[in-house]
Structure formats: C-alpha cells, structure tokens
Amino acid sequence: MSPVLAGVLQLLALVAALALAYRPLGDYMARVYGSKKHLRAEKWIYKAIGANPDTEMRWPAYLRGVLAFSAAGVLFLYLLQRLQGSLPGSLGFRSIDPDQAFNTAASFVANTNWQSYSGEQAMGHVVQTGGLAVQNFVSAAVGIAVAVALVRGFARSRTGELGNFWADLVRGVVRILIPISVIGAIVLVACGALQNFSGIHEVGQFMGGKQEWNGGAVASQEVIKELGTNGGGYFNANSAHPFENPNGLSNLFEVFLILLIPFALTRTFGRMVGSVRQGYAILATMATIWLGFTALMMWTEFHHGAPALDLAGGAMEGKETRFGIAGSSIFSVATTLTSTGAVNSFHSSYTGFGGGIQMLGMQLGEIAPGGTGSGLYGMLIMAIIAVFIAGLMVGRTPEYLGKKIGTREIKLAACYILVTPALVLGFTAVAMALPTPGNSMANPGAHGFSEVLYAYTSGANNNGSAFAGLSADTQWFNSTIGLAMLLGRFLPMVFVLALAGSLAEQQPVPATAGTLRTEKPLFTGLLVGTIMIITGLTYFPALALGPLAEGLAS
C-alpha cells in the first residue's frame, strides 16, 4: 500500500470515528449544561469551595469567577514548582527557577502548555500529576464554560444572566472530561503507553553507554492533554516519545481525542439555541478548513521537490518512521488548528510551506475546530463578523440567531479579533529588534524569523507547540511568552462574556424575508471566506518574511 493511500485511509477512519461520536456526545453535553440537578460528588465540591451552584450570574460576575479561579491556579502551580525540591516524589529534581516557574504556571492555566523545559529532566511526580495534569482538566473546563455562557447569550432573552461559572466548571470536569479520560487512558495503556510511579532507571544502550529514564503517570496525562486540547508532554519529545505515543493506532486515537470535544460542541450549540441546523453550519465551516489544511499539508510534505526528499518518499526529516508523513501531517494540522501544543514530529523540520500551514492554522484563531470551548466561541465571533459584513453588503441591520448585531456587539467582536494579532506581531517585532532574543535563534534568515514568529503565535493563541531551533528558556522568552499566553487567553474572554451579556439582554427579533439564513451552505462559504480574508490581511506580511520566503527559496 502506498503511503499516500495509507494516509487517506487514516483520514477516512478518523472522520468516521468523529461522525459516530458527534451526535451522542454533543447531545450529552447539552444535557449536562442544561440540567438543574447536581451529582453528589459535585455537591461536595461546591460545599468545599463555598459556591452556590444555583445562583445565576451576569457577565461581570461570571468573568470574576473565571479570573479569580485562574489567578489562584497560576499562584498554586507557581508555588508548587518553586517548592518542588522539598516535596516527596520529586525524583531528586531541584526547584524550578522563578522565570520558568512563572512561564509554566501561566502556560498550563491558560490552556497553552508551552514548555521551555524537558519534562523528564525537570518535573517530579507531584508537580506532573498534582499540578500540570490537574490544570489540564480545569483549564479545558474553563474554556467550555465560557463557550456555554456565550451560547446562553444567544439562547436567552431579556436577561443578562449567563448561568453559574462554578457549576459549569465542575460539571465540565466531573461529567465530561474525567469519564472520557478514564476510558481513553485505558486505551492508551492497551496500546503500550506508560502508566506508573516508578523512579529513575539506568538502562543500557545498543551502542554501549548508559542512559537514565524515569517513569510516570504518562497515559493518564496524555489522554487529558489531548482531550482538553492542552498539549504539554510528560517527556521533552512530547507525543513523538514512544512512552506517550507508542504506535500508529495510538497516534490516530490521540488525534481523535484532540478533535472530539471541539467538533461535538457544535452539536451542543445547535441544541442549546434550538436549531441543530445552525450547529451543522458551524460544523461545516470547521470541517471545510480542517480537511483543506490537512490535504495541503499532506501534499506539500509528500511532493516537495528535492532529490533527497524524493528518495525518502517525502519530507521525512524530523518525523517518526512509525507514524510516517501521513500520520505526522494529520497530527500536526489537528494540533495547530486547535489549541493543542502536542507534537509527534518536529515542526521546524517541515517544508517551508508546511511550516506556513502550521502557523496559519494557529493564526486563524484556532477555530477549526479550535480548543475545547475556545474554538466554538472563536468561531461564533467570526460568524458575527460575517453577518455584519453581509449586512453592509445589502444595507440591512445584521442579525444572528434572532439577535441584532449593533454597535456594541460589533465593537466587542472587533476587539476580540484584534487582541491576538497585536500580541503576536508586537512581541515578534520587539524580539527581532533587540539583540538578546536574537541570540536564541539557531538559524539565521527566514527560518530564524519563522522560529520567533511561531513562538509568539503559539503563545498568544494558546497553542503551546514550538518550531524547535529556538532556545526559549531565557528570561526574555519565559517572561514575554508567559505574558502573551495570559493576555491571549483572558483578554478575549472579557470580550466574549461582555458580548454574551449584551446578547442575553436583547429581545429576539422575528425572521423576515430579508433575514440572512445562517444555517445554509451560502453562509458557510461566506464564513470561510471571512475567516481566510481577515487572517490573510492581518498576517500575510509576516508570513511572507518567514515561511513563504523559505518555501519559495527551496
């Protein structure tokens, strides 16, 4: 069987698995966030944190809950790393330096999981399981909660109430993420992933010499890092490491986990607003971009013209032979179109155009299908922009799901889409202008610029993957990327929740003959075009200096 055909079959199997899970999971999540009942375990949690889950919140109170919980998470994880040397189960590792502890705490709380350290050489069992793995759960649940709050803004009328943040957070963890993670961890262990709490072992090498390896609760962290679109690896090689991702079957299963909740949330959205066809329109937009990017990535990696690459059957540099080009390309696109920093290959070793596809996927806002929750609310923001543009074309007040998109709504949506590019391009420009950050680049020219652009794109978009070749464990990059991650995560949430509150206060307007049918394929095409044009106009000059220049020169 040819590698290309094998890749197509893998993609078809993945689509079939996602299609089978789409309806039951989407409907289940709609019931979870629409239920008035609380499980016994949830009641214990509410009592422990002193929260009343039945109190409705307006958007400022909901936002305060998000920010307070996240700030406490940053502080807790920072202190846990700083005290690691004194904790049991540290495997003899020292405490983490202040700038790196801040960067890691900001990273995992912001659902980014950018790592400027080698996990197996820096983090003990307590930090890995009690700190990093816990944040993988709760940061993903925060993203889903904010998305659900926005959906309630569309579904409700003449009230500013968006639900209860603490109830949404706890339900996301207890009823959705933990059950799927338990099943997923069992599957990964069956595939050969590691799961233990062993210490450091010294093992021999085939060519002589010795090497040290430590075990850990790898499978359980691997499953939530993918399911929650987090991405932080237990080992430095991340999902290219055989202890995390042993074979082709586990590789495809991990891609399935990455895409599962973001795609299924479109069904949840349709159920909660009372029109599953609206959910299908958002799903079609996400799927169109995802399949298009996957096809482009496989094409550029299989058919890049160069003698060495032709002999190898494609651009195999930096890719694991057990996954091949197809498995690596599918994984790469899935992670960069979602807020998942996991990698099963070195992104820096992809072709120039392949690296550009990865960056563009993040720069779209990671909305196809995006992160857990963040992909849905990001896509709904773009839908509002598309409706506004359509309204300008025909001279009619734009409406979406029965809500008028007025001056306040479009200002909030515009602020949302401007925050991340300002962070990415601003920090990249400063880093390239200063001499110290430039010393961290292993490659000069277009590829070196791509490394820096990719780092800030990954950080501000809460992705977390790296282009490699950039020595990011410096005070400059730890501090600035950490700041980009926090601002890139929580500033957009401010605008999303303010928009949700504004929409919830409106009275729905009835559909008329002039109302744009947002559940039709025409709107899907308009939405795809809007996303590509806005992103292209914003990032094309920077991409032209980096991956496009490199691709045209090769």
Question: pLDDT tens for residues 397-423?
Answer: 789 999 999 999 999 999 999 999 999
**Whole-number average pLDDT of the chain:** 91
Mean pLDDT of 382-400: 89
**For the range 198-204, what are the long-range contacts, defined as Cβ-Cβ under 8 Å and sequence gap of 24 or more?**
199/91, 200/91, 200/92
The three-state secondary structure class of 115 is coil
3-state secondary structure 343-408: CCECHHHCCHHHHHHHHHHHHCCCCCCCCCCHHHHHHHHHHHHHHHHHHHHHCCCCEECCEECCHH
The pLDDT of residue 206 is above 90 = no
Q: Where are the alpha helices (DSSP H) in 83-217?
A: 98-109, 119-122, 125, 134-155, 165-171, 178-191
* Percent of the chain whose predicted confidence (pLDDT) is above 90: 68
Residues 86, 228, single domain; the answer is yes
The three-state secondary structure class of 241 is coil
How far apart are the C-alpha atoms of 196 and 129, rounded to whole Å? 11
The pLDDT of residue 209 is above 80 = no
Residues 99, 217, single domain; the answer is yes
Report the pLDDT value the prediction gives residue 307, as an integer from 0 to 100.
Answer: 59
Nearest to 547 by CA among 336, 379, 291: 336
Q: Is the dihedral of CA 260, 264, 265, 268 positive or negative?
A: negative
Residues 62, 203, single domain; the answer is yes
For 194, half-sphere exposure in the C-beta direction (CA atoms, 13 angstrom radius) is 18
Residues 250, 374, single domain; the answer is no
Please answer whether residues 440 and 418 qualify as being in contact, where contact means their C-beta atoms are separated by less than 8 angstroms: no
Residues 31, 177, single domain; the answer is yes
Report the pLDDT value the prediction gives residue 438, as an integer from 0 to 100.
Answer: 62
Which residue matches tokens 């759960």? 137
Q: How many CB atoms lie within 10 A of CB 425?
A: 18
* Burial (CB count within 10 angstroms: exposed 0-12, middle 13-18, buried 19+), residue 355: buried
How confident is the model over 154-164, as pLDDT tens digits? Answer: 999 999 899 99
- Where a domain ends, among 275, 302, 336? 275
Residues 191, 71, single domain; the answer is yes
The pLDDT of residue 439 is above 70 = no
Please answer whether residues 400 and 394 qualify as being in contact, where contact means their C-beta atoms are separated by less than 8 angstroms: no
Residues 523, 385, single domain; the answer is yes
Nearest to 300 by CA among 350, 266, 262: 350
Report the pLDDT value the prediction gives residue 216, as an integer from 0 to 100.
Answer: 85
Mean pLDDT of 470-480: 84
Token couple for 372? 């857990």
Asked if residue 198 belongs to a domain, the reply is: yes
H-helix or E-strand spanning residue 213:
strand 210-214
Asked if residue 346 belongs to a domain, the reply is: no
State the pairing for strand pair 200-204/210-214. Answer: antiparallel
Reply yes or no: is the peptide bond before residue 510 cis, omega within 30 of 0. no
How far apart are the C-alpha atoms of 227 and 29, rounded to whole Å? 14
Report the pLDDT value the prediction gives residue 554, as an integer from 0 to 100.
Answer: 64
How far apart are the C-alpha atoms of 261 and 370, rounded to whole Å? 10
The three-state secondary structure class of 100 is helix
The pLDDT of residue 350 is above 70 = yes
H-helix or E-strand spanning residue 22:
helix 3-34
- Where a domain ends, among 258, 275, 292? 275
Q: How many CB atoms lie within 10 A of CB 37?
A: 5
Residues 39, 169, single domain; the answer is yes
Length of the chain counted residue by residue: 554
Structural domain of residue 475, as residue ranges?
Answer: 367-553
Report the pLDDT value the prediction gives residue 313, as an integer from 0 to 100.
Answer: 56
DSSP 255-319: HHHHHHHHHHHHHHHHHHHT-HHHHHHHHHHHHHHHHHHHHHHHHHHHS---HHHHHHTS--TTB
How confident is the model over 91-146, as pLDDT tens digits? Answer: 888 999 999 999 999 999 999 998 888 888 889 899 999 999 999 999 999 999 99
314 confidence band (pLDDT: 50, 70, 90): low
Asked if residue 342 belongs to a domain, the reply is: no
Asked if residue 296 belongs to a domain, the reply is: no
Residues 26, 128, single domain; the answer is yes
Asked if residue 304 belongs to a domain, the reply is: no
Asked if residue 270 belongs to a domain, the reply is: yes
Residues 377, 239, single domain; the answer is no
Token couple for 382? 């773009």
- Where a domain ends, among 210, 240, 275? 275
How far apart are the C-alpha atoms of 257 and 186, rounded to whole Å? 13
Residues 268, 387, single domain; the answer is no
Q: Rounded to two decimals, what is the model's pTM?
A: 0.94
306 confidence band (pLDDT: 50, 70, 90): low
Nearest to 532 by CA among 335, 285, 297, 350: 285
How far apart are the C-alpha atoms of 210 and 322, rounded to whole Å? 24
Please state the φ and ψ torsions of residue 343, each to the nearest 5 degrees.
-135, 145
How far apart are the C-alpha atoms of 330 and 291, rounded to whole Å? 9
Asked if residue 49 belongs to a domain, the reply is: yes
Nearest to 349 by CA among 339, 358, 361: 358
How confident is the model over 499-545, as pLDDT tens digits? Answer: 999 999 999 888 877 788 999 999 999 999 999 999 888 999 888 88
Asked if residue 104 belongs to a domain, the reply is: yes
292 confidence band (pLDDT: 50, 70, 90): very high
Q: Give the number of domains in the chain.
A: 2
Report the pLDDT value the prediction gives residue 127, as an integer from 0 to 100.
Answer: 92
The pLDDT of residue 171 is above 60 = yes
